[in-house]
Structure 1
Amino acid sequence: FLPQDRVCEFAKLTPIQLLEETEKAVGDPQLPVQHFALVEKSRELKKYQKAVDKMGESLKQLMALNAEQEKDVERVRQRDELLEKVDCMKKKLPWLKYDMKKIEYLEAQKREKEAKKKLNEAAKMLNEFKAPIEKQKQEKTKLDDQCKRISNFMNENIKKRNDLLQKENEAAVQARSKYKEIEDLRREEDCRKQSIIEAKMKLADAERDLQNLPAYEPPKEEIERLKSQILELTSSAHQMMQQKKEKEKSLGQMKTTLRNCVDGLKDMENTKTKLLHALKKSGAEKIFEAYQWVELHRNELNKDVYGPVLIEVNVSNEVHAKFLEGHVAHYIWKRLRIPVAFAVKCAYFVLYESFITQDSGDRDFLVKNLQPFDVPILNYVREESGRKAPSEISKQMHELGIYSRLDQVFDAPAAVKDVMSSQFGLEHSYIGSDKTDRKADDIAKELGILDFWTPQNHYHWSVSRYGDNEMSARVEPVHDSRLLLCGLDSGEIENMRSRKNELEKLIADAEEGIKSLQIQQRLVEDEAAKLQKQREEMVETARREMRKRKDLESCVEQRKRKLVSLERSGDIETAVDKLIEQAARSNIERLKHAIKVKDLLVEAVSCKWSYAEKHMASIEYDAK
């Protein structure tokens, strides 16, 4: 080590470390040991000192707690002393109560003696005054009995008077009613006489009206004539209505036929429908039903299904359509043997009416459900490898007039196009111009193209299997397209249109006829209604005249009966005399009742006088 390193360490020592190092440097080996023992003893001393201080504090706390508990003990002792005093007082309490009750008893006994003494004195005084009081009581009782008898007699008197007054009132009412009846009878007699005069006048008027009423004969012949005319017009209107219904029925049938004709014409003019019609004419009788079934059940299929093949192929150029249809005419548009790779049910199919699936499950589903429609089902399996890419159109081909391949001139879904290209070699068939037609031999020799089309001809070379490079050529003319650019026979469409026009004309004529019949029917019905109204007026007039005569005759009879009943009324004077006698008897009864009431009033006055005297005497006894 360098000296400065050692000096640096020495400078970093603490005082304690410096002391230890100094002791080590002195040379006595026991000195550090003793120093260490001294340090340990100092530590133990500090520890004991801390324990003593802690115990002293605990002692002080315990002493303070003891002082507090001594106070509690003192309070408990005082409480016990007080409880002992309470027990002692409880024992003394009954004796104190007894002393108090004893004093009260003695005082009550003293008061009882004084009360008995006063009672005896009062009894003596009562015996002295009892005899005169009893005498007065007896006299008062007699007076009360007399007052009671007089009061009862007065009540009976009042009751009798009330009865008599009521009877007198009843007699007065009877008398007044009799007088009123007399007045009513006299008034009725005057009214009866006046009524007889009026009834005679009304009877004379009614008889005069009946005599002056002219005789009326209803026009029966005219009514019958109108009735027959009405029946004829009604029958005619009914016949017209039947004719109208028949014409309307015929019109409805013609309109239905027209709608069907229009729908059929629309279907014929529709491209897809044209193609389906072409397939149907070529032998696929149920192609429409099959196509509609597939369209309805597309949501049940796993993948897209194409078909029929004819409606999936779209060729924009008429010349190219001829080439394409001519190239596959003997294979796809008619009957074609399908390779095993497509796994179909039958060996031969009409491919133009075929449906192409892309899933084996869809293929089985369609085979099962389209069996009644007799259409083939193909399952397309895409080949990922093994297909050679077709060659492009080279510059040399362009120079010879070749401008396209046959697989490039039409549009179709990939599956349909792949089927057609792979099976019929469309990618190896080329399309050329008139220049190609002129240099057909050079094309086969120089370019090795064995199949191509020109606007006029179809050239096809085949290599012999028996000679070296021996080739034979076949040239065929280009035929018109019958399927790809098909249209229904124009004559058939024209026939349908002429049929439509004819039906429209017939419908218009029928509607005019119906309108004219309706007008005639309305005129006939109006005429019948007028005649019916005229007949009803005649009948109503006859009924009114007959009713008028009957009413007058009935009025005359009623007035005669009323006059007779008025003249048969009894003599009123006898009834008046009888009522006067009854009124006199009622007045006599009133007088008798009034006399009795007067006598009762006299008795009542005397009784009241006597009752007043007796009652005053009784009051005097009560006052004494």
Structure 2
Amino acid sequence: MPSLEPRRRSRARLEGDDDDQSSGSDSSKQQRRVVSRTLSQEDGDQSERDTARARRVKSSPSRVDRENGISEFQTGAIVRVLVENFVTYEHAEFKPGPNLNMVIGPNGTGKSSLVCAICLGLGFHPRHLGRASNVGEFVKHGKESAIVEIELQSRPEEQANHVIRMLIRKEDNKTKWWLNGKETTHQAVKALTNDLRIQIDNLCQFLPQDRVAEFAGLTPVQLLHETLRAAAPEQMINWHNQLKELHRKHKEMKARLDACMETLRGHETRQQGSQADVDRLREREAIQKKIHDLHSARVIAEYNTLRGLVAETKRRKQEATLKLQELEHACEPALQAVNRKREYRAKIEAVVGDRKNALRNAEAECDRLLQAIEAQDERIKHIQNKKNAEESSHTSKRSDLAKIRRTITDLEAKLQNKPPEFVGSEWNQKIRQQEHILRENEAERRTLRTQFDELRELNMRKNSDKSKLENDLAALNSQEGQKIAFLRKVNPDAAKGWEWLQEHRDEFEKEVFGPPMLTCSIKDQRYSNQIQSFLGFEDFCSFTCQTREDHKKLSTQFYKHMALSVTIRTCGSDFASFRPIMPKEQAREMGLDGYAIDYLEGPEPVLAMLCSEKRLHVSGVALRDVSNENYERIAKSGQIPSWATGGTMYRISRRKEYGDAAVSTTTRRINPGRFWTNQPVDHAERTAITRRISELDEEIQEIRTQAQETKRRTKEMDEADEPIKQQIEALRREKNELQKAATLYATLGDKISE
């Protein structure tokens, strides 16, 4: 297609690779030529607007009131920014105004680079930009160092503005700082920015485009807090803190009041429930009082009844007495005979009593005599026993006398045989010497045990490292393992985050997905390079959340606790909502094989994130380059902003403020993709792991040899202790025997005299 190249070069600005970047001045000249060609029909109107703008600038008041010495800039405002060899700039100086400043320009002209320079030049970390993690990456390609100088408005009482100057060295990724022309430290610069209330870490004061999703995830309370911290004076922040404290106390007071009200309602409910019991108790008391009254009335009734019975009984008694008298008068002769018999009975009973007394006295006398006879028998037995005891004692004494004589003879014989002299200190010294040997052996044995425990623990650690290396070696044989190994090489922070995420998946509301380079794959490898040309390095290594809470929790873990430099994104739209405006059939008619998202497979939330961030659902791909006619059709349709065909990637930018004719096309060569490819096994890494495993095997074998030697030495010492213990026991026995013999010999004279 010889006619296509000149046409495209005349209307497109070529973006080369990192090794072939054009300077900022060349880029700006090309932009001016494109805009001048595109907006030639509006030159007249534009010149009038420029003339009016120049008149406004000339008539505007100066930034500093020379008479009063008062600056229009607020304290801490940026007065000047100077950059050298920074990203796309070789040398540029910016002088913003005291009010609202807007930086407008096509893509790739350095707008974001200016934002990066402000962030880094004020002493903040690159992670606040959500882009590169090292400051050395911001040095222009082919240069050794970069300079960022920022002038900040001072307070009214200060003589001159604050000038912060930073030097970035690409070789060692280090920075050097100057403040007001004097070399200083990074902490001093941070102290100055904090004093001037410059908060790059506050999204309400400094919001890079790569952290918009994080800003959208802030809750209303967090948003209010960050807004006050960014814009409100110190007194208002104190008022806000006091208001929050009063609100907290109000909530506590309300909670206590609600608790008291609940307690009061409970007491009222209990009182209502007890009212029935009180009524029943009162009824019980009334009934008991009535029962008491009835008991009192009953006593009176019983008294009256008993009184009547007593009167009736007295009457009957009188009648019975009269009847008894009549009966006694009628039976008087029979009663006299009965009385006579009673008198005779009394006489008989008197005689029988006398005889019984005489019989009892005779029985008592017989018992007395029997007891006297038994006492004499006991006395005879006692005398006989005493006689037998004296005879036995005489025989025993004769036997003891013979035994004593024999003992005296033996003692006199032993007294003639004097035992060897016993010196206890010498024997104790011998025993202590053997015990000292035992203690030394025990100390050495403890040392050996400690060495054995240390060797065992070291062996366990070595075996654990070996198992991990063997797992890594086995993982290299699988596609998934190769991807993880490649991720560790290109982005260690993302690899650490992925390992942590695999262990804590269940802690999130919905599933959180790892880097697309692991979770996604290409359906047709022929389109791999074209699809990867739409994505940047951070797109391949980013994490995807489905809820704001999960995004907040993951950000806290990665950024605050683990200090990782990774990208976290959240996509709230479903994958089904991302559909191309132009049907696929129409796209094929224009020379495209399809859209990039059609050749990519993976979890839908990850695909939705890529569509939201990189618009893969409207980015066309084709194996062959498009013709001039199809190129014109695609450009005029306005429905496909970018496409990758053959070895070239095209991107169309439209400036709505300049009308439909303000269109610029950017083209660049497609480089081979680093991800989503069937990469061969890294033999160097395999060799390194194999070599490390061999080294660990040798170390483990050496540890085992040392452990066996330690164990053998311990066993030998245990065996050597046994003869020493036996010798100590023999010495103690011999010492005891000699001590007993010496003691016995020393007491022989006393025993003989006794």
TM-score (norm 1): 0.47
Bigger CA radius of gyration: 1
- Kindly indicate whether structure 1 or structure 2 has the higher relative contact order, using CA contacts under 8 Å at least 6 residues apart: 1
Higher strand proportion, which one?
2
TM-score (norm 2): 0.40
Higher helix proportion, which one?
1
